[in-house]
Structure 1
Amino acid sequence: MGQQTIKAKVEQMVQPFLEEHGFELVDIEYVKEGANRFLRIFVDKEDGIDIEDCGRISEFMSAKLDEEDPIPDAYFLEVSSPGAERPLKKPRDFERSIGKYVLVTTYEPIDGQKEFEGTLTAYQADEHLVVKVGKKDIQIPLDKVGNARLAIQF
Protein backbone atom coordinates (compact mmCIF):
# COMPACT_ATOMS: atom_id res chain seq x y z
CA MET A 1 0.00 0.00 0.00
CA GLY A 2 1.43 3.37 -0.99
CA GLN A 3 2.26 6.22 1.35
CA GLN A 4 -0.50 8.47 -0.06
CA THR A 5 -3.12 5.74 0.33
CA ILE A 6 -2.10 5.16 3.95
CA LYS A 7 -2.19 8.89 4.68
CA ALA A 8 -5.65 9.19 3.10
CA LYS A 9 -7.01 6.24 5.12
CA VAL A 10 -5.55 7.60 8.36
CA GLU A 11 -7.05 11.03 7.62
CA GLN A 12 -10.49 9.46 7.10
CA MET A 13 -10.12 7.64 10.42
CA VAL A 14 -8.94 10.59 12.53
CA GLN A 15 -10.80 13.56 11.01
CA PRO A 16 -14.25 12.94 12.59
CA PHE A 17 -12.71 12.52 16.07
CA LEU A 18 -10.64 15.68 15.68
CA GLU A 19 -13.57 17.77 14.46
CA GLU A 20 -15.80 16.47 17.27
CA HIS A 21 -13.22 17.55 19.88
CA GLY A 22 -12.27 20.91 18.36
CA PHE A 23 -8.90 19.92 16.89
CA GLU A 24 -7.49 20.67 13.45
CA LEU A 25 -5.53 18.13 11.42
CA VAL A 26 -2.38 19.91 10.24
CA ASP A 27 -0.50 17.07 8.56
CA ILE A 28 0.07 13.32 8.43
CA GLU A 29 3.44 11.74 7.68
CA TYR A 30 4.19 8.09 7.07
CA VAL A 31 7.95 7.80 6.75
CA LYS A 32 10.79 5.32 7.08
CA GLU A 33 13.74 6.48 9.15
CA GLY A 34 16.54 3.96 9.41
CA ALA A 35 15.02 0.57 10.11
CA ASN A 36 11.79 2.02 11.57
CA ARG A 37 8.57 3.39 10.14
CA PHE A 38 6.70 6.26 11.76
CA LEU A 39 3.11 7.42 11.43
CA ARG A 40 3.05 11.03 12.61
CA ILE A 41 -0.16 12.95 13.10
CA PHE A 42 0.21 16.70 13.64
CA VAL A 43 -2.75 18.45 15.25
CA ASP A 44 -3.56 21.87 16.63
CA LYS A 45 -6.44 23.88 18.08
CA GLU A 46 -7.19 27.55 18.64
CA ASP A 47 -5.44 27.87 21.99
CA GLY A 48 -2.76 25.26 21.25
CA ILE A 49 -2.56 21.62 22.28
CA ASP A 50 -0.96 20.04 25.31
CA ILE A 51 0.36 16.61 26.24
CA GLU A 52 -3.06 15.46 27.47
CA ASP A 53 -4.61 16.35 24.10
CA CYS A 54 -1.91 14.38 22.29
CA GLY A 55 -2.46 11.44 24.64
CA ARG A 56 -6.23 11.41 24.01
CA ILE A 57 -5.78 11.50 20.26
CA SER A 58 -3.04 8.84 20.41
CA GLU A 59 -5.24 6.50 22.48
CA PHE A 60 -8.14 6.94 20.06
CA MET A 61 -5.94 6.38 17.02
CA SER A 62 -4.16 3.36 18.51
CA ALA A 63 -7.51 1.63 19.04
CA LYS A 64 -8.81 2.70 15.62
CA LEU A 65 -5.63 1.58 13.83
CA ASP A 66 -5.74 -1.79 15.63
CA GLU A 67 -9.38 -2.21 14.62
CA GLU A 68 -9.04 -1.24 10.94
CA ASP A 69 -5.37 -2.25 10.43
CA PRO A 70 -4.68 -0.15 7.30
CA ILE A 71 -0.88 -0.38 7.60
CA PRO A 72 0.74 -3.77 6.89
CA ASP A 73 4.17 -2.88 8.34
CA ALA A 74 5.21 -2.36 11.95
CA TYR A 75 5.39 1.36 12.82
CA PHE A 76 5.51 3.83 15.68
CA LEU A 77 2.56 6.21 16.15
CA GLU A 78 3.40 9.78 17.16
CA VAL A 79 0.83 12.53 17.80
CA SER A 80 2.12 16.06 18.31
CA SER A 81 1.75 19.77 17.72
CA PRO A 82 3.17 21.11 14.46
CA GLY A 83 5.36 23.39 16.60
CA ALA A 84 6.39 27.00 16.16
CA GLU A 85 7.48 26.38 12.57
CA ARG A 86 4.15 24.99 11.48
CA PRO A 87 3.93 23.87 7.83
CA LEU A 88 1.60 25.82 5.56
CA LYS A 89 -0.18 23.47 3.18
CA LYS A 90 -3.87 24.25 3.00
CA PRO A 91 -5.48 27.51 1.79
CA ARG A 92 -6.66 28.18 5.36
CA ASP A 93 -3.05 27.88 6.62
CA PHE A 94 -1.91 30.61 4.22
CA GLU A 95 -4.93 32.84 4.85
CA ARG A 96 -4.47 32.92 8.61
CA SER A 97 -0.69 33.37 8.28
CA ILE A 98 -0.90 36.67 6.41
CA GLY A 99 1.22 39.13 8.34
CA LYS A 100 3.39 36.38 9.84
CA TYR A 101 7.04 35.58 9.22
CA VAL A 102 7.47 32.60 6.86
CA LEU A 103 10.04 30.56 4.97
CA VAL A 104 9.09 29.46 1.46
CA THR A 105 11.21 27.26 -0.81
CA THR A 106 10.44 26.80 -4.48
CA TYR A 107 11.00 24.09 -7.08
CA GLU A 108 12.44 26.60 -9.52
CA PRO A 109 14.31 29.87 -9.00
CA ILE A 110 12.30 33.10 -8.90
CA ASP A 111 14.45 36.19 -9.41
CA GLY A 112 17.47 33.86 -9.10
CA GLN A 113 16.43 32.48 -5.68
CA LYS A 114 14.75 29.33 -4.41
CA GLU A 115 14.38 30.36 -0.76
CA PHE A 116 12.36 33.30 0.54
CA GLU A 117 12.20 34.33 4.17
CA GLY A 118 10.04 37.27 5.13
CA THR A 119 6.49 38.36 5.89
CA LEU A 120 3.59 36.75 4.08
CA THR A 121 1.66 39.77 2.84
CA ALA A 122 -0.89 38.20 0.46
CA TYR A 123 -2.39 34.92 -0.62
CA GLN A 124 -4.50 34.40 -3.72
CA ALA A 125 -6.14 30.95 -3.66
CA ASP A 126 -5.00 28.64 -6.47
CA GLU A 127 -2.69 31.35 -7.85
CA HIS A 128 0.12 32.84 -5.80
CA LEU A 129 1.36 34.18 -2.51
CA VAL A 130 3.42 37.29 -1.81
CA VAL A 131 6.34 37.36 0.60
CA LYS A 132 7.93 40.67 1.60
CA VAL A 133 11.68 40.03 1.73
CA GLY A 134 13.39 43.14 3.01
CA LYS A 135 11.65 45.94 1.13
CA LYS A 136 10.78 43.84 -1.93
CA ASP A 137 7.51 41.97 -2.50
CA ILE A 138 8.11 38.61 -4.18
CA GLN A 139 5.14 37.00 -5.91
CA ILE A 140 5.45 33.21 -5.83
CA PRO A 141 3.13 31.04 -7.96
CA LEU A 142 1.61 28.29 -5.82
CA ASP A 143 2.60 25.61 -8.34
CA LYS A 144 6.25 26.53 -7.73
CA VAL A 145 6.06 26.27 -3.90
CA GLY A 146 8.03 23.27 -2.65
CA ASN A 147 7.61 23.93 1.07
CA ALA A 148 6.17 26.73 3.13
CA ARG A 149 6.17 27.11 6.90
CA LEU A 150 6.05 29.66 9.65
CA ALA A 151 9.54 30.74 10.64
CA ILE A 152 11.11 32.16 13.76
CA GLN A 153 12.59 35.58 13.15
CA PHE A 154 15.92 36.23 14.85
Structure 2
Amino acid sequence: MKSLKEQISSLAEAHLPDESHYLVDVSIEEKSGKKRVNVYIDGDEGVTIQVCAKLSRTLSEVLEAEEWIADAYVLEVSSPGVDYPLQNTRQYRKNIGRDLLIQLADDSEILGTLLEVNEESLKVNTKEKAKGKSKKINRKEVDIPLAEVVKSIVQVSFK
Protein backbone atom coordinates (compact mmCIF):
# COMPACT_ATOMS: atom_id res chain seq x y z
CA MET A 1 0.00 0.00 0.00
CA LYS A 2 1.19 3.50 -0.82
CA SER A 3 2.20 5.87 1.95
CA LEU A 4 0.12 9.01 2.56
CA LYS A 5 2.84 11.09 0.90
CA GLU A 6 2.79 8.85 -2.19
CA GLN A 7 -1.03 8.96 -2.35
CA ILE A 8 -1.12 12.76 -2.12
CA SER A 9 1.73 13.05 -4.65
CA SER A 10 -0.15 10.87 -7.16
CA LEU A 11 -3.39 12.77 -6.60
CA ALA A 12 -1.68 16.16 -7.02
CA GLU A 13 0.10 15.08 -10.22
CA ALA A 14 -3.18 13.79 -11.66
CA HIS A 15 -4.90 17.15 -11.06
CA LEU A 16 -2.29 19.59 -12.34
CA PRO A 17 -3.81 21.84 -15.01
CA ASP A 18 -1.44 20.85 -17.87
CA GLU A 19 1.98 19.49 -18.80
CA SER A 20 3.69 22.83 -18.11
CA HIS A 21 3.01 22.35 -14.38
CA TYR A 22 4.71 19.75 -12.23
CA LEU A 23 4.89 18.49 -8.67
CA VAL A 24 8.07 19.44 -6.83
CA ASP A 25 7.51 17.85 -3.43
CA VAL A 26 5.01 16.84 -0.77
CA SER A 27 5.95 17.11 2.89
CA ILE A 28 3.89 15.97 5.85
CA GLU A 29 4.80 17.22 9.32
CA GLU A 30 3.08 16.86 12.64
CA LYS A 31 3.06 19.73 15.14
CA SER A 32 1.04 19.81 18.34
CA GLY A 33 -0.94 16.78 17.24
CA LYS A 34 -2.01 18.42 13.97
CA LYS A 35 -0.73 17.29 10.58
CA ARG A 36 0.55 19.90 8.13
CA VAL A 37 0.55 18.82 4.49
CA ASN A 38 2.62 21.01 2.16
CA VAL A 39 2.28 20.43 -1.58
CA TYR A 40 4.84 22.29 -3.68
CA ILE A 41 4.15 22.74 -7.39
CA ASP A 42 5.89 24.71 -10.09
CA GLY A 43 5.52 25.47 -13.77
CA ASP A 44 7.81 26.08 -16.69
CA GLU A 45 6.42 29.63 -16.73
CA GLY A 46 5.82 29.84 -12.97
CA VAL A 47 2.63 29.07 -11.09
CA THR A 48 -0.31 31.33 -10.25
CA ILE A 49 -2.26 31.57 -7.03
CA GLN A 50 -5.34 30.46 -8.97
CA VAL A 51 -3.65 27.16 -9.92
CA CYS A 52 -2.60 26.62 -6.29
CA ALA A 53 -6.10 27.41 -4.99
CA LYS A 54 -7.81 25.07 -7.47
CA LEU A 55 -5.44 22.20 -6.66
CA SER A 56 -5.90 22.84 -2.94
CA ARG A 57 -9.70 22.60 -3.27
CA THR A 58 -9.42 19.37 -5.27
CA LEU A 59 -6.99 17.78 -2.81
CA SER A 60 -9.13 18.85 0.17
CA GLU A 61 -12.27 17.32 -1.36
CA VAL A 62 -10.56 13.96 -1.86
CA LEU A 63 -8.78 13.98 1.51
CA GLU A 64 -12.11 14.64 3.22
CA ALA A 65 -14.21 12.23 1.15
CA GLU A 66 -11.70 9.37 1.34
CA GLU A 67 -10.73 10.18 4.96
CA TRP A 68 -7.01 9.81 4.20
CA ILE A 69 -6.19 11.88 7.29
CA ALA A 70 -8.27 10.99 10.34
CA ASP A 71 -7.51 14.00 12.55
CA ALA A 72 -7.35 17.74 11.99
CA TYR A 73 -4.84 18.87 9.40
CA VAL A 74 -3.69 21.93 7.48
CA LEU A 75 -3.20 21.70 3.71
CA GLU A 76 -1.06 24.23 1.90
CA VAL A 77 -0.44 24.25 -1.85
CA SER A 78 2.20 26.69 -3.06
CA SER A 79 5.22 27.21 -5.25
CA PRO A 80 8.47 26.23 -3.50
CA GLY A 81 9.88 29.74 -3.00
CA VAL A 82 13.40 30.97 -3.68
CA ASP A 83 14.98 29.42 -0.59
CA TYR A 84 13.65 25.93 -1.36
CA PRO A 85 16.28 23.60 -2.83
CA LEU A 86 15.92 22.69 -6.50
CA GLN A 87 14.53 19.16 -6.81
CA ASN A 88 14.48 18.21 -10.50
CA THR A 89 15.94 18.99 -13.92
CA ARG A 90 12.89 21.06 -14.91
CA GLN A 91 13.58 23.41 -12.02
CA TYR A 92 17.26 23.60 -12.97
CA ARG A 93 16.35 24.39 -16.60
CA LYS A 94 14.04 27.17 -15.42
CA ASN A 95 16.97 28.71 -13.51
CA ILE A 96 19.63 28.66 -16.24
CA GLY A 97 21.50 31.97 -16.09
CA ARG A 98 20.95 32.40 -12.34
CA ASP A 99 23.48 31.98 -9.57
CA LEU A 100 23.28 28.83 -7.45
CA LEU A 101 24.92 27.80 -4.21
CA ILE A 102 25.50 24.07 -4.62
CA GLN A 103 26.34 21.80 -1.70
CA LEU A 104 28.13 18.61 -2.75
CA ALA A 105 28.26 15.17 -1.15
CA ASP A 106 31.84 15.81 0.05
CA ASP A 107 30.52 18.86 2.03
CA SER A 108 32.18 21.33 -0.33
CA GLU A 109 30.19 24.18 -1.87
CA ILE A 110 30.26 25.74 -5.30
CA LEU A 111 28.90 29.19 -6.09
CA GLY A 112 28.33 29.89 -9.75
CA THR A 113 26.05 30.69 -12.63
CA LEU A 114 24.08 27.76 -14.03
CA LEU A 115 24.89 27.43 -17.74
CA GLU A 116 23.44 24.06 -18.74
CA VAL A 117 21.63 21.06 -17.29
CA ASN A 118 20.94 17.53 -18.52
CA GLU A 119 19.75 14.35 -16.83
CA GLU A 120 23.25 13.56 -15.50
CA SER A 121 25.01 16.85 -14.77
CA LEU A 122 25.08 20.61 -14.39
CA LYS A 123 27.49 22.98 -16.11
CA VAL A 124 28.30 25.93 -13.84
CA ASN A 125 30.49 28.99 -14.34
CA THR A 126 32.07 29.16 -10.87
CA LYS A 127 33.02 32.29 -8.97
CA GLU A 128 36.01 32.25 -6.61
CA LYS A 129 37.89 35.12 -5.05
CA ALA A 130 41.53 35.14 -6.11
CA LYS A 131 44.00 34.23 -3.39
CA GLY A 132 45.72 37.03 -1.50
CA LYS A 133 44.51 40.61 -1.26
CA SER A 134 43.32 40.81 -4.85
CA LYS A 135 39.65 41.67 -5.43
CA LYS A 136 39.71 39.72 -8.66
CA ILE A 137 37.12 36.98 -9.15
CA ASN A 138 38.30 33.84 -10.94
CA ARG A 139 35.76 32.10 -13.14
CA LYS A 140 35.90 28.55 -14.39
CA GLU A 141 33.36 26.29 -16.11
CA VAL A 142 32.84 23.01 -14.27
CA ASP A 143 30.62 20.00 -14.87
CA ILE A 144 28.98 18.69 -11.71
CA PRO A 145 27.37 15.23 -11.72
CA LEU A 146 23.83 15.49 -10.31
CA ALA A 147 24.56 12.40 -8.23
CA GLU A 148 27.07 14.48 -6.23
CA VAL A 149 24.64 17.37 -5.59
CA VAL A 150 23.13 17.34 -2.10
CA LYS A 151 21.35 20.69 -2.34
CA SER A 152 21.14 23.65 -4.75
CA ILE A 153 19.70 27.00 -3.72
CA VAL A 154 19.06 29.87 -6.15
CA GLN A 155 20.88 32.97 -4.96
CA VAL A 156 18.78 36.12 -4.98
CA SER A 157 20.56 39.25 -6.10
CA PHE A 158 19.35 42.73 -5.17
CA LYS A 159 21.70 44.56 -7.57
> 89-98 or 30-39: which moved more?
30-39
Structure label with greater radius of gyration = 2
What code does the residue aligned with 2:122 have? L
Unaligned 5+ segments in structure 2 are: 128-138
Matching of residues 90-105 of structure 1 within 5 Å: 90-105=88-103
Distance 2:40 2:11 in 1: 14
> With structure 2 as the length reference, what TM-score do the two structures score?
0.74
Percent sequence identity is 29
Matching of residues 112-123 of structure 1 within 5 Å: 114-123=108-117
The aligned counterpart of 1:144 is 148
Measured after TM superposition, the shift of residue 95 of structure 1 is: 2.9
Q: Which has the higher helix share?
A: 1
Deviations 1:31-64 (A, max 9, x none): 2356543210112334433333322211111011
Once superposed, which parts of structure 1, at least 4 consecutive aligned residues long, lie more than 6 Å away?
Answer: none
Unaligned 5+ segments in structure 1 are: none
The aligned counterpart of 2:122 is 129
Deviations 1:77-116 (A, max 9, x none): 111122234532222222333222222112214xxxx222
SS of corresponding position for 1:82: coil
Distance 1:104 1:73 in 2: 39
The aligned counterpart of 2:50 is 52
> With structure 1 as the length reference, what TM-score do the two structures score?
0.76
What code does the residue aligned with 2:125 have? K
Conserved? CA contact 2:17–2:51, under 8 Å: no
How many matched pairs? 147
